[in-house]
Structure 1
Amino acid sequence: MVGTDIGIDLGTASILVYVKGKGVVLKEPSVVAIDRSTRKILKYGEDARLMIGRTPGNVVATRPLRQGVISDYDTTEKMIKHFIQKAVGKRCFRKPRVAVCVPSAITEVERRAVEEATSEAGAREVRIIAEPIAAAIGAGIDISKPCGNMIVDIGGGTADIAVISLGESVVSTSIKIAGDNFDEAIVRYMRKKHNLLIGERTAENIKVKIGTCYPLAEPETMEVRGRNLVTGLPRTVTVSSEETEEALREATLNIVEAVHTVLEKTPPELAADVADRGIVLTGGGALLRGLEELIEDRTGIHTMTADDPMTCVAIGTGQYVELLGEKF
């Protein structure tokens, strides 16, 4: 392999790597396990995620990215390097060209930190692309036309909402409410309503299995184990999908409010296009049940989820590299 073009979706919850000609070759949680005494990284990705909440005192499983931006520079650099090597192999003779996806509201300082971390991790050239643009390309939308397309990309740390026309965001916003906030809302609800302390992995499990933000035709239930805050002993309670709707109400309505704000600022011709073409949801957070119905109910605009919302941004970032071709 002489040289490779790579697209990276550098997410708060997951990292996805797209390699030109191969598609998405790697999808791992953005988690690293570190030995506190030596600062040595012990595990990356899924291996490290399994350690969350289960490590001894000297080992900590942590996420070096918070709400779409780098919170631990050195660890992020090592993590990107590890995943690039895992994706392209160590026998790559020439450093790859890399396009990295970031939230649309990122500051210049945060943007530079991503560029530098990716360069230090072994990239020959680095291009930064805004998340909604990558999500739209990955969802199969032709963004080059003079036509309004609305994208709502809900990741782990941020929700990016944008109306795109002629390959650029015309109106956009980025709010720091997304998948992680859904998990935190469930943890808070369980503590308040059931006096039960649960970890973030359990909260994520509840969200995936019975989580909803719109009433289901048939309510669902599941058993949840945690620590009773009164007795301090392990306890099991039964939780219903209706309770998750209550727990997630505030966070999901904040996302709907952001969609509403972007629509209010959208020029009338583009707003008419959006009303005609609908709203497209991408990102892992878009998999939360009832989100399509909730947005459609509050805006009156047909809302649909992309075919594979989890990989849209990574595919779009990779295709952006291919579109640039020789111009990169």
Structure 2
Amino acid sequence: MASSDIGIDLGTASILVYVKGKGVVLKEPSVVAYDRDTEQIMAIGEEARLMLGRTPGNIVAVRPLRQGVISDYKTTEKMLKYFIQKAVGKSFFGRRPRISVCVPSGVTDVEKRAVEDATYQAGARDVYIIEEPVAAAIGAGIDISRPCGNMIVDIGGGTSDIAVISLDGVVVSSSIKVAGDDFDDAIVRFMRKRHNLLIGERSAEEIKINIGTCYKRPENISMDIRGRNLVTGLPKTVTVSSDETEEALREVTSQIVDAVHSVLERTPPELAADIADRGIVLTGGGALLHGLEDLIEENTGITTMTAEEPLTAVAIGTGKYIEFLSERK
């Protein structure tokens, strides 16, 4: 059996697996639930995510990746093995696949090695490490081989990667540990401060997805959210409006805008002129936050658009990276 080339978008929030010729075959949360007493893994992926914040004492649901970096090596290795087998079937161990994995642009060599080792342990024949912005650009359909400046802002769960890419490489980049998870945290903090209401990560994510915005919406929409009243200690329902989410997310989103600004300041003038012509491309799950395009455009004066498939762009780019390398050779 011919081995398949696999691309893995190893994200803080979710893992996507791309198989050559099939596209993205798997997208699951990067969560693992295990039994503390026996060290046995109970569930991985979506099944484990449903357990977050809802487990008895001996069962822990954890995210083995923090801010795009492996924080729990053993668990990451098991999770990778599970997802690779689930994506291509157990039969692939006849001939091990070539796997490319993407990492945030600011990771250290030690962190890169950890990803590489975990992928080899999970059953890879060759491992290629690719930086997230490059993968995002390839996945968004940008021809990065031309001597022309392209700016990519990839907002994931744990990190936001901003890079200017030209001639297959990153010219200027910045990786900040502010992204989708921080949007959720900001909403949790806001609800506690403004409404004396304690809500969980999942409820915060619901607010973010349904009514969250970082730029004033034309119409103010609202939704009900349940949590625990911090004064009485009892369950309580509160109505939240999109204007409130704009206030809650203001500080976090302005950090991303500042990072875009600082990358533009360090960009060589010729490439900066290209970006002014071609615009800024947003990818990653965080790019789906309402109003982000408008906010970046207002602050930089450069047209900003979201890639067609922002959630899968990095995974597709990571998968195509192996083909891209062989073409170069």
- What is the TM-score of this pair, normalised by structure 2? 0.99
Q: What is aligned with 1:234? A: 235
Matched, 1:60 2:75: no
**Contact persistence 1:100–1:126 (CA under 8 A):** yes
Where do 1:270-285 residues align within 5 Å? 270-285=271-286
Q: Is the 8 A contact 1:187 1:200 kept in 2?
A: yes
Structure 1 residue 110, shift from structure 2 partner: 0.4
| 2:214 matched residue in structure 1 | 213
Q: Does 1:316 align with 2:285?
A: no
Q: Match for 1:134: what amino acid?
A: A
User: In the alignment, which residue of structure 2 is the partner of 1:12?
Assistant: 12
Q: Which residue of 1 aligns with 2:268?
A: 267
Question: Aligned partners of 2:63, 2:39: CA distance in 1, in Å?
Answer: 14
Amino acid in structure 1 at the alignment position of 2:112? R
Offset of residue 323 of structure 1: 1.8
Deviation at 1:170, TM superposition (A): 0.3
**Other structure's SS at 2:100 match:** strand
Contact 1:70 1:113 in 2 (8 A): yes
Structure 2, unaligned runs of 5 or more: none
1:324 is displaced (CA, Å) by 2.2
The SS at the match of 2:90 is coil
- Deviation at 1:33? 0.5
The structural deviation recorded for 1:325 is 3.3
Task: Determine the structure 1 residue equivalent to 2:75.
Answer: 75
Q: Distance in 2 between matches of 1:151 and 1:317?
A: 15
Alpha-carbon contact 1:99-1:317 (below 8 Å) kept: yes
CA distance in 1 between partners of 2:109 and 2:184 (Å) = 29
Measure how far apart 1:326 and its partner are.
7.9
Q: Does the CA-based 8 Å contact 1:77-1:118 persist in structure 2?
A: yes
The AA in structure 2 aligned to 1:269 is E
1:173 corresponds to: 174
Residue-by-residue CA offset, 1:197-228 (whole Å, 9 max, x unaligned) = 00000000000000000000001100000000
Could you tell me which residue of structure 1 aligns to residue 51 of structure 2?
Answer: 51
**2:229 and 2:157 mapped to 1: Cα distance?**
28
Matched residue SS, 1:91 = helix
Matches within 5 A, 1:28-177: 28-92=28-92, 93-177=94-178
Aligned partner of residue 211 in structure 1, secondary structure = coil
Q: Using the alignment, how far apart are the partners of 2:85 and 2:325 within structure 1? A: 23
Distance 2:38 2:199 in 1: 30
Deviations 1:263-283 (A, max 9, x none): 000000000000000000000
2:289 maps to which residue? 288
Q: Counterparts of 1:167 and 1:243 in 2: how far apart (Å)?
A: 42
Spell out structure 1 runs of 4+ moving beyond 6 A.
none
Letter paired with 2:257: V
**Identity over the aligned pairs, expressed in percent?**
75
Where do 1:239-258 residues align within 5 Å? 239-258=240-259
Instruction: Count how many residue pairs are aligned between Structure 1 and Structure 2.
Output: 328
Confirm or deny: 8 A CA contact 1:20 1:322 kept in the other structure.
no
TM-score normalised per structure 1: 0.99
How much is the aligned-residue C-alpha RMSD, in angstroms? Answer: 0.9
Q: Is the 8 A contact 1:33 1:48 kept in 2?
A: yes
| AA of the residue aligned to 2:230 | L
Q: Where do 5+ consecutive residues of structure 1 fail to align?
A: none
Paired AA for residue 2 in structure 1: A
The 1-side partners of 2:166 and 2:2 are apart by 36
Letter in 1 for 2:172: V
Matched residue of 1:321: which SS? helix
- 2-structure distance, mates of 1:109, 1:199: 33
